[in-house]
Amino acid sequence: MVPGRLRRLAIVVMVSALLSALLSVGIAPLLAHADARTDYLVRLLRTSEAFRVRAQAALSLGSVTPEPQVIDALTAALRDDEAAVRAAAASSLERLGDPSALPALRAASSDRERAVADAARSAVRALERVARTGGGSSAGTTTASTGTTVEPRGTPRFYVGVGMPGTKVAAVDRAVLASARGFIASRVQQLEGVVVAPESESPRQAQQVIRQRSLTGFYLDSSIVSLETRPDGGVRAQVSVVVQTYPDRNVRSMLNGAATVMGETGVAAQRAAIEGALNGALRNLGTAMGAGSPR
């Protein structure tokens, strides 16, 4: 294999690994409105000297509300010196679905690294579809917290309800729990064939949708098992996610995850640690749902 192909392969592998292990340096996907954590990720993307940190920040920004500062930071990152950062930025711009990024993505489509060019071209195709249909900055989808279902990637197979996480840890306030629920819903939405149910849905409504659309129903009941501040600084979280049938709520399996955010404390670090732990727990969700489906 020639050096150029080796380099492209390394970029693809690196971006893929970053997507599946965002918490390796303590950065988790963000799923709420632009807040202090969004500002923090934008700052990391723009100023960090470590390209892996910049790449992880770019990937994390793909799960936030597409505010102008986020789009600006990601489009600027398409010109980063490191190909992994450029590819991550293109991928996140596709996920955010804001057509205003099209000019920068079209320019990146001729990037010297094939992995970057391919990611940019994929984003261009997706955002051009959004532009043709008159979609806004959220790519035409509605979050599960608004009372409408979120349609899947690919052919619909599963109908998934997401409950508000519970905890017996006194340090976790409701805002953090709500953010965790949003993270779970967004993470589940990324799985192919999953329709995410609205938060306020009744069991009867769920049953009607499942029957009418011939879907398999699942419900995710999660819990923050522990949340501790480490003596050397940082926060460690442990979570569990119980996979149940829906709407009858019979337990099918339990998924566990843990993550540590080093060098940070406070609410932002709590959210990052919890979301990292949830990301680990949900990694095998697709397999768990497939095993629990009728054959």
pLDDT at 11: 52
pLDDT of residue 148: 46
Residue ranges of the chain with per-residue pLDDT less than 70 = 1-35, 132-154, 263-265, 292-295
User: How much is the pLDDT for 6?
Assistant: 47
How much is the pLDDT for 98? 85
pLDDT of residue 23: 38
Which pLDDT score is estimated for 32? 38
The burial of 184, by beta-carbon neighbours within 10 Å (0-12 exposed, 13-18 middle, 19 or more buried), is given as buried
Residue-wise pLDDT for 21-61, tens only, equals: 443 444 444 333 345 778 888 888 998 888 888 888 888 88
Q: Please give the Cα distance from 64 to 85 (Å, whole number).
A: 17
- pLDDT for 144 equals 39
pLDDT at position 10: 52
Nearest to 277 by CA among 229, 240, 230, 242: 240
Q: 181 to each of 17, 104, 151, 199, how far by Cα in Å? A: 24, 33, 18, 10
Rounded to two decimals, the pTM is 0.54
pLDDT at 91: 87
CA-based nearest residue to 218, from 199, 197, 187, 239 = 197
Among 276, 267, 275, CA closest to 35: 267
Per-residue confidence (pLDDT) for residue 160, from 0 to 100: 93
- The pLDDT score that the predictor gives to residue 254 is 93
Contact 69, 42 (CB under 8 A): yes
